């Protein structure tokens, strides 16, 4: 499984991706975020799905970018181009994969800003090659193992959230997921994009880099839970102190 998170706020974009790859009993690490940078063109791609499909689609897309990156003026054009490579991989491999019991399931998050985009963009691309754009009403998207990490994002993120707070919430979302899911873990890769900067930066984090943050979050969660008022529970717990009358035998 995978954990990949894309966040869009007014100030820019945040991307977080784990690197764990599981195949049966084998566990390896593999980069799942790819960045592309040229003058007035910045973008990232994150993928979740079968490794063989991911690798093939990325190789095909890299060839497209080598030949045609300068022709893309808006991000949706690059999204369409990657979608074509996903469909190409499906044409070549989907039937054989499904006969072997595997599902063709490549999902992709693409974010960035190209020279004619009025603002930075964030897209979710489906295995069929169609896509949706994320906006103010949906400031983030997760592909892979999504359930455990949504709560903090839903509480914290909105269009006005700062990039630093967005990254902090994004890491804690990943941390909540890895605690609950054996197939999501460190190391993680992060990409950051400041609005209209046309400068995409990456950062790699090992577990030891963030273990103090994780421990601090764990401690503060427990402290916060203990500090929440107990009075609302009194009516229920008062009943525990009352003896239950035994029924008389007939």
Kindly give the residue spans of alpha helices, DSSP state H, lying in 188-233.
207-227
Average pLDDT over residues 182-193: 94
Instruction: Tally Cβ neighbours within 10 Å of residue 221.
Output: 12
> What was the pLDDT predicted at 201?
97
Mean pLDDT of the chain: 93
Residue 24 binned pLDDT confidence (cut-offs 50, 70, 90): low
β-pairing, 107-114 vs 121-125, is antiparallel
Domain boundaries along the sequence of the chain: 3-223
Share above pLDDT 70 across residues of the chain, in percent, rounded to a whole number: 96
Average pLDDT over residues 65-70: 91
Is the pLDDT score of 249 beyond 70? no
Residue 183 binned pLDDT confidence (cut-offs 50, 70, 90): confident
Is the pLDDT score of 55 beyond 80? yes
Residue 90 binned pLDDT confidence (cut-offs 50, 70, 90): very high
Q: pLDDT tens digits for 91-139?
A: 999 999 999 999 898 999 999 999 999 999 999 999 999 999 998 788 9
Which of 123, 104, 102, 120 is closest to 112 using CA atoms? 120
Is residue 143 within 8 A of residue 109, CB to CB? The reply is yes
Average pLDDT over residues 192-213: 97
Superfamily (CATH) of domain 3-223: Aminohydrolase, N-terminal nucleophile (Ntn) domain (3.60.20.10)
Half-sphere exposure of residue 136, counting CA atoms within 13 Å on the CB side? Answer: 4
Q: pLDDT tens digits for 144-179?
A: 988 789 999 999 999 999 999 999 999 999 999 999
């Amino acid at each position: 499984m995978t954990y990949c998170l894309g966040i869009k706020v007014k100030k820019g974009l945040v991307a977080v991706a784990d690197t764990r790859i599981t195949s049966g009993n084998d566990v390896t690490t593999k980069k799942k975020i790819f960045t592309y940078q040229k003058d007035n063109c910045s973008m990232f791609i994150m993928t979740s799905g079968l490794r063989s499909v991911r690798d093939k689609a990325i190789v095909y897309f890299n060839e497209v970018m080598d030949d045609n990156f300068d022709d893309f003026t808006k991000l949706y054009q690059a999204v369409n181009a990657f979608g074509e490579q996903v469909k190409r991989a499906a044409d070549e491999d989907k039937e054989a994969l499904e006969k072997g019991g595997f599902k063709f399931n490549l999902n992709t998050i693409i974010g960035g800003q190209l020279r004619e985009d009025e603002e930075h963009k964030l897209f979710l691309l489906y295995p069929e090659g169609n896509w949706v754009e994320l906006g103010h009403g949906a400031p983030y998207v997760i592909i892979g193992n999504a359930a455990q990490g949504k709560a903090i994002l839903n509480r914290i993120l909105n269009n006005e959230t700062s990039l630093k707070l967005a990254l902090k919430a994004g890491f804690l979302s990943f941390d909540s997921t890895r605690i609950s899911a054996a197939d999501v873990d460190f190391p993680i890769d992060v990409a950051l994009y400041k609005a209209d900067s046309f400068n995409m930066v990456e950062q790699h984090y090992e577990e030891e880099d963030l273990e103090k943050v994780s421990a601090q979050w764990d401690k503060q969660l427990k402290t916060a839970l203990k500090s929440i008022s107990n009075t609302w529970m009194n009516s229920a717990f008062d009943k525990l102190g009352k003896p239950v009358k035994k029924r008389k035998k007939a």
